[in-house]
Amino acid sequence: MEYVAGSCNLGKSEIRRRQFVALIGLVLTVITTFGLLTGDAAKSARFGVFIPALVFSVGFIQSRRKFCLAYGFMGTFNFGPLGKLSKVASPQDRREDRKTAISILLQALSLALTITLMIYLLPL
């Protein structure tokens, strides 16, 4: 793998890290949902699942796209050891990365909102 502007800014270890974040977000979403549905919480409290759903969504989308939205905004990439960032040299490449980062952020927000609304609308 190598850096491709607007398309790929993560190596294998960074992708695994995003997969782990997605797993943590999924577990937190399930636990939060279970607690809200089995507890005596008001139906509006179900909106509280948005944050763990967002953690899941960001990790999931970044790992699938092989692109870190934070790195995209910072103009960096990493294909080496975890935390060893390299700078994107070209201003055009940085613009492409920012566009992709915004796209991933919007996709993650949409997915988290969809998950939250599905849980909110459960007839329980």
What are the residue boundaries of the structural domains of the chain, listed by start?
Answer: 12-120
Task: Give SS3 for 82.
Answer: coil
Q: Full-prediction pTM beyond 0.85? A: yes
Predicted confidence (pLDDT) per residue in 43-81, tens digit? 999 999 999 999 999 999 999 999 999 999 999 999 998
**Integer Cα distance of 4 and 48 in angstroms:** 37
Whether pLDDT at 95 is above 90: yes
**Integer Cα distance of 92 and 94 in angstroms:** 5
H/E run at residue 76: strand 76-77
